[in-house]
Structure 1
């Protein structure tokens, strides 16, 4: 019995690998190698609050000399970090507030984070969708059912819940049936409150010693309330329609 079960599992694994294709597996290995290499090379040091505070004056000097180029480079770094799911987006958001101010910083982060999330979404759909569908069909079906039932509010609510990592949402949505256009604008709307919050904290970078200083329990509670607001509004509208009927 165990030998037969093992044989079936091996056959299933080979079938999944064959369906994924050698090209996808090679690309996935390359992306993983780049991310691991970045971490092994102590790249996360450059995405820390201590490094940001130490280099803030130098960054501000470059911004004053080359404002457009500095904005473009910042966006490019943010997109890469988000697309590769490298930890550090929160520190970069604080940096946007410290370097570009609340309004321009929020605009830069909103665009760059959404573009990076869309790239991560696309890579997940290309690289992982076949494998995840074959390995966890029931779970993917359940998520697709939620998306079909709730529509864009499903993703919007996930984005508004601060305890769910953005990189996990990007990868998870990539293996579902949600459209890229819906993913884009729902992500941009859903991340905007937290983006504005962290950018605002970044304008007071001198008072921030750790990421825990950036968000208070009251702010987290407000973001959680925003997450359930679309569903509450939908229920109220449904109730009003029934009463009118």
Structure 2
């Protein structure tokens, strides 16, 4: 009777840990498989080939077209499948600059939040606690990131240098709150979404000419300079805090 009726705690604890890790492990596995299986499927050529069918479906079933587009975009982002840029162009092509940009932001932002939650539940909380408990340079870096959290979060979204998937994982690993991550994500991706949705809204003429869209437009001065200006504005509190602290 001495403890015979009490189930061992270790297996239950281990099972719960792996259950929490399951979503992010599924996402990582899907990302690898998707990169192989859908590498050439979700492309501009595919969009051009099916443009008439997509427009016909949108005209006949607008609500279902919107819901289907949102579901597809969230899936692409959540599982880090190739074709995120094509999905953004499709949003502009099917729904115009407005409300297309709203659908693009909603799809990308929701997918990013799902990745963040999966990463934080699976590894992020434990890793953040370990970094804090370990002390040293890792803990100082974590503290610096948290002190400048808003600036860093917005910079990762505004400056197109950090891959979107990585920008979803880093905040989860340093203990960022869901509210801050969601707000900075949904607001921070608006400028880039506006640019690519605008390009997508003009795809009808591009298709008619048999050409491909110029996605390098984001690096042209009229687009890049305003983005860098927003990035500088986002970094200003961090710079001022550093100067004030004498770092």
- Where on the TM-score scale, by shorter chain, does this alignment land: which range? 0.7 to 0.9
1:132-161 CA-to-partner distances (Å, cap 9, x unmatched) read 455896676345323432242221122111
Aligned to 1:181: 179
1:54-99 Cα shifts (integer Å, max 9, x gaps): 2111111100010000100100111111111223211110110111
* Superposed CA offset, 1:155-192 (max 9, x none): 11221111211111101111122110111111111100
**1:107 CA drift (Å):** 0.6
RMSD after superposition: 3.1
Q: Structure 1 CA distance, aligned partners of 2:146 and 2:29? A: 35
Paired with 1:26 and 1:235, the residues of 2 have a C-alpha distance of 39
- Residue in 2 aligned with 1:123? 118
Separation in 2 of the partners of 1:224 and 1:156?
12
Name the residue aligned to 1:55: 50
* CA distance 1:59–1:22, change in 2 (3 Å): same
Q: Relative to structure 1, is the Cα distance of residues 33 and 158 closer, same or farther in structure 2, using a 3 angstrom cutoff?
A: closer
CA contact (8 A) 2:158 2:189 kept: yes
3-state DSSP of counterpart to 1:128: helix
> What is the CA–CA distance in structure 2 between the aligned matches of 1:77 and 1:67, rounded to whole Å?
15
Alpha-carbon distance change, 151 to 22 in structure 1, aligned in 2, over 3 angstroms: closer
Match of 1:221 among 215, 219, 225: 225
> Partners in 2 of 1:139 and 1:106 — Cα distance?
41
CA distance in 2 between counterparts of 1:109 and 1:91 reads 11
Unaligned residue ranges in structure 1 (runs of 5+): 1-17, 240-245
Residues 1:37 and 2:33 aligned together: yes
Query: What TM-score results when the alignment is normalised by the length of structure 1?
Result: 0.77
* Structure 1 residue 48 displacement after superposition: 0.8
Aligned residues: 221
- Report the secondary structure of 2:116's partner residue: helix
The more displaced of 212-221 and 24-33 is: 24-33
> What is the TM-score when the length of structure 2 is the normalising length?
0.77
In 2, Cα distance between equivalents of 1:158 and 1:19: 34
1:46 and 1:52 in contact (8 A); partners too:
no
> In 2, Cα distance between the equivalents of 1:46 and 1:211?
20
- Report the Cα distance in structure 2 between the residues aligned to 1:176 and 1:64, rounded to whole angstroms: 45
* Equivalent runs, 1:19-168 vs 2, <5 Å: 21-24=17-20, 26-41=22-37, 43-129=38-124, 132-133=127-128, 134=130, 141-168=139-166
CA distance in structure 2 between the partners assigned to 1:235 and 1:38 by the alignment: 40
Shift of 1:32: 3.2
Deviates more, 1:21-30 or 1:194-203: 21-30
